[in-house]
Structure 1
Amino acid sequence: MTPQAIKVACSNCNLRELCMPMDLSVGDLGRLDELVATRRKIRRGAPLFSNGERFTALYAIRTGFFKTCIATEDGRDQVTGFQMAGEIIGLDGIVGDHHTCDAVALEDAEVCVLPFDRIEELSREVPALQSHVHKIMSREIVREHGVMLLLGSMRAEERLATFLLNLVQRLHARGFSQSELVLRMTREEIGSYLGLKLETVSRAFSKFAEEGLVEVKQRHVRILDTDALRAVVAPHEAGAALKRCA
């Protein structure tokens, strides 16, 4: 969809503390307001960017959920991550000036467009912005390490428990419940991300429900026993790694 030419003021955005540096001077904050010139609305199922597309900007998610995925040799879509409001997406394009994955909206969404050449220019003048971009990139590295540990050492129930705990923690940081969430992704997409078959994900959900750890009503999930769910993954470093990068 064509970007809407609307002025966006970061200083007045309720997600600023999640996607922009904190403790900026009034002058520096005013300069950051100049960084975001447009917003884009993305309909559910539509791509924000696609593999091979020229990289020009990072995107701060204002509303909605996204998944990133790559096409495997046999034609399947491998989900590599889920992103939500307050997070920055598009870092994959920095290294080669082209995006290396698809970013698809899981629901109607809106993003703030951050032209990367402008980010580089302002980073030289506002050190806090440069530091913040480095922290975002570092967080993505830590997240990838956590996923590698998760896929390499965890059983199915441990993978799903880690995923749910990480997701609800990220949502809570945005003002949502500590124990309830609505899954914007399908169980098949969760399985793709966790390296599990759809049937295995469904069995793990059923097991958690039978043991009184969660209550599941279609895509609505309520965590009934957070401590017990944490105990499922407590022995593994992967759970801690994903927690650190939330």
Structure 2
Amino acid sequence: MFKVAEKDPSVAAAVIKFLCRDNGFIVEKLRRYANKHAEARIAAFLVEFYEMHLRIGRPETTLHLPFSREEIASYLDLKIETVSRSFKSLEQQNLITLHRVRTVTLNSYLGLKGFS
């Protein structure tokens, strides 16, 4: 790939653009989740997922998460047990209701947003 980039400036520019965009994603993720305790990370994750649904015209507060607890743990740099405890804690605070492993109702979007 690098030899092609050396010969074709447009390929080199595309590679640089891709790497910068990827780096920007990492920086944004660190900004959102760094220095937050586990429950705040989960709350921020749920708020972000809900807001993404709002942007595409799906305002339902019951979310069907396409991620396993293990995938959420990996994304948020948490242990799976911590993710499970954090979901339970948010439920006990009546911020969310857990229905099944991947189905969550946001009882208080503003509460989650303030928590995150």
TM tier, smaller: 0.7 to 0.9
Q: Which residue of 1 aligns with 2:111?
A: 228
- Structure 1 segments (4+ residues) deviating >6 Å: none
Which has the higher relative contact order, 1 or 2, with Cα contacts under 8 A spaced 6 or more apart? 2
Sequence identity percentage: 29
Deviations along 1:5-43, whole A, 9 cap, x unmatched? xxxxxxxxxxxxxxxxxxxxxxxxxxxxxxxxxxxxxxx
Counterparts of 1:146 and 1:161 in 2: how far apart (Å)? 17
Counterparts of 2:87 and 2:113 in 1: how far apart (Å)? 15
Q: Which residue of 1 aligns with 2:15?
A: 95
Higher normalized helix content (fraction of residues): 2
Q: What residue ranges of structure 1 are gaps of 5+ in the alignment?
A: 1-51, 53-93, 101-136, 234-246
Q: CA deviation at 1:228?
A: 1.1
Q: CA deviation at 1:230?
A: 1.1
Letter paired with 2:109: T
Over the aligned positions, Cα root-mean-square deviation in angstroms equals 2.5
Counterparts of 1:161 and 1:185 in 2: how far apart (Å)? 15
1:144 aligns with 2:26: yes
Task: Answer yes or no: is the 8 Å Cα contact 1:156–1:196 preserved in 2.
Answer: yes
Counterparts of 1:177 and 1:221 in 2: how far apart (Å)? 14
Q: Which residue of 2 aligns with 1:157?
A: 39
Counterparts of 1:194 and 1:150 in 2: how far apart (Å)? 10
Give the structure-2-normalised TM-score: 0.76
Higher normalized strand content (fraction of residues): 1
Q: How many residues align?
A: 101
Deviations along 1:35-90, whole A, 9 cap, x unmatched? xxxxxxxxxxxxxxxxx9xxxxxxxxxxxxxxxxxxxxxxxxxxxxxxxxxxxxxx
